[in-house]
Amino acid sequence: MHKIQAWGASAAGKPLAPMSIERREPGPRDVVIEILFCGVCHSDIHQARDEWSGAMFPMIPGHEIVGRVTRVGGEAKKFAVGELAGVGCMVDSCRACGPCTEGLEQFCEKGNAPTYNGTEMDRKTPTYGGYSTEIVVDEGYALRVPTGLDPAGVAPLLCAGITTYSPLRQQGCKPGDRVGVVGLGGLGHMAVKLAASMGAKVTVLSTSAAKEADARRLGAADFVVTKGGNAFERLAGKFDIIVDTVSAPHDYNAYLGLLRPRRAMVLVGAPPAAVPVQPFSLIMGGKQLAGSLIGGIAETQEMLDHCEKHGIVSDIEIIPIQKINEAYERVLASDVRYRFVIDMASLRGPSA
């Protein structure tokens, strides 16, 4: 074990602050990654403040990690020293259950090892995330980062990117499909970019008229303000796929009415309380209300390769680690376009 620098929360609700943590020495199949950039996900805030309960402290958040490989284990073949690598929302799984063998490690029947706020598969060793100078991970749970893309902009792809890519792939998004994206934030802006890159005609459905210019810049063909007016009547039965990224309470039934028969609305946003769904919103038209949770390792790599082909990265604002508490408050105020990314050089510098 060796100590490294990090920023984390010592208890629920405490501001994040500098601390040191221990990383294991690399095993035969491990890679050591010097972290260059780490995205800031809204779920980092939920977990650091124990808003989902069960948080483990001290906690080092961060599961949108891009860095450079500095060491490889003797049996590791996937990476060479000096190459870029990424780590997303998990660092291991049982590797033997049905979901794991099907490439769905996110649904591991024994529970995967989350990148932070959890344990390794031994259920003893705590996991610490990317608000730190390095991470040690089995090469099978590290991703190849395209060299042709800005590595800072790639970092949020490892959560926001795969979270929105996976439902589009599940629903067979193809050229000519009409895709509705509910909400234009960290997830929504990636859904727009990805659906447009698949050849879909994208409509952003938002309560804020001020976001129209951004939506069109990101690739949306249309923008509809859903607050007031007759938007739901006018768009009834128009969409092949709806990706709902909103985590605030809203009426699922209204959006289900916008689907064509036998099409699906996929939830990637999670409101804090149960949302009523009327049976006939689904029965009439044979519609589907589905959910999606990130993706497996293979699908995440597929997403990164797709983004390289189409030149897609997240729209970001880079910050030093010393501004992380301010960034959390700005996320809660929707004051970022569209993801914060921490430059980890700030953790190694003289002001760290």
Residue 78's pLDDT is 97
Average pLDDT (266-278) is 95
Does residue 170 share a domain with residue 259?
yes
Residue 228's pLDDT is 84
Q: Which tokens belong to 184?
A: 């234009």
Residue 350's pLDDT is 59
Q: Report the CATH number at residue 229.
A: 3.40.50.720
Where a domain ends, among 248, 269, 291?
291
Q: How many domains does the chain have?
A: 2
Does residue 306 share a domain with residue 209?
no
Residue 76's pLDDT is 96
Q: Is the pLDDT of residue 14 over 60?
A: yes
Contact residues for 317 (Cβ-Cβ < 8 A; gap 6+) = 336, 337, 339, 340, 341
Arithmetic mean of pLDDT over the chain: 97
Q: Which residues pair with 37 in a beta bridge?
A: 66, 343
Where a domain ends, among 253, 269, 291?
291
Q: Is the pLDDT of residue 352 over 60?
A: no
Does residue 182 share a domain with residue 154?
no
Does residue 131 share a domain with residue 22?
yes
Question: How far apart (Å, rounded) are the C-alpha atoms in residues 329 and 347?
Answer: 20
Question: How far apart (Å, rounded) are the C-alpha atoms in residues 312 and 296?
Answer: 20
How many CB atoms lie under 10 A from the CB of residue 21?
Answer: 19
Q: Which tokens belong to 100?
A: 């794991």
Average pLDDT (91-117) is 98
Using a pLDDT cut of 70, give the percent of the chain over it.
99
Contact residues for 133 (Cβ-Cβ < 8 A; gap 6+) = 4, 5, 6, 34, 35, 344, 347, 348
Question: How far apart (Å, rounded) are the C-alpha atoms in residues 201 and 195?
Answer: 8
How sure is the predictor about 229, in pLDDT bands with cuts at 50, 70 and 90? confident
Average pLDDT (210-218) is 97
Which structural domain range is residue 193 located in? Answer: 161-291
Does residue 82 share a domain with residue 21?
yes
Contact residues for 302 (Cβ-Cβ < 8 A; gap 6+) = 165, 169
Contact 48, 55 (CB under 8 A): yes
How sure is the predictor about 280, in pLDDT bands with cuts at 50, 70 and 90? very high
Instruction: Report DSSP state, residue 209.
Output: G
Where a domain ends, among 246, 266, 291?
291
Residue 202: closest CA among 187, 188, 221? 221
Distance (Å) of CA 289 to CA 178, 233, 250? 17, 20, 14
Contact residues for 280 (Cβ-Cβ < 8 A; gap 6+) = none
Does residue 101 share a domain with residue 167?
no
Contact 167, 290 (CB under 8 A): yes
Does residue 141 share a domain with residue 285?
no
How sure is the predictor about 88, in pLDDT bands with cuts at 50, 70 and 90? very high
Q: Report the CATH number at residue 305.
A: 3.90.180.10
What is the per-residue pLDDT across 153-169, written as a single tens digit (0 to 9) for each? Answer: 999 999 999 999 999 99
Does residue 284 share a domain with residue 199?
yes
Does residue 303 share a domain with residue 237?
no
pTM value is 0.96
Torsion of Cα atoms, 341 then 100 then 98 then 282, to 10°:
20
Does residue 300 share a domain with residue 282?
no
Average pLDDT (23-49) is 97
Q: In the chain, what is the straight-line distance between the N-terminal and C-terminal CA atoms, in Å?
A: 22
For 268, half-sphere exposure in the C-beta direction (CA atoms, 13 angstrom radius) is 31
Instruction: Report DSSP state, residue 20.
Output: E
What is the per-residue pLDDT across 285-326, written as a single tens digit (0 to 9) for each? Answer: 999 999 999 999 999 999 999 999 999 999 999 999 999 999
At 75, give phi and psi (nearest 5°): -105, 0
Listing DSSP states for 51-101 in one string gives TTS---SSB-----EEEEEEEE-TT--S--TT-EEEE-SEEE--SSSHHHH
Q: Among the residues of 148-286, which ranges form H helices?
A: 151-154, 160-170, 186-197, 212-218, 231-234, 252-256, 279-283
Does residue 228 share a domain with residue 166?
yes
Does residue 210 share a domain with residue 100?
no
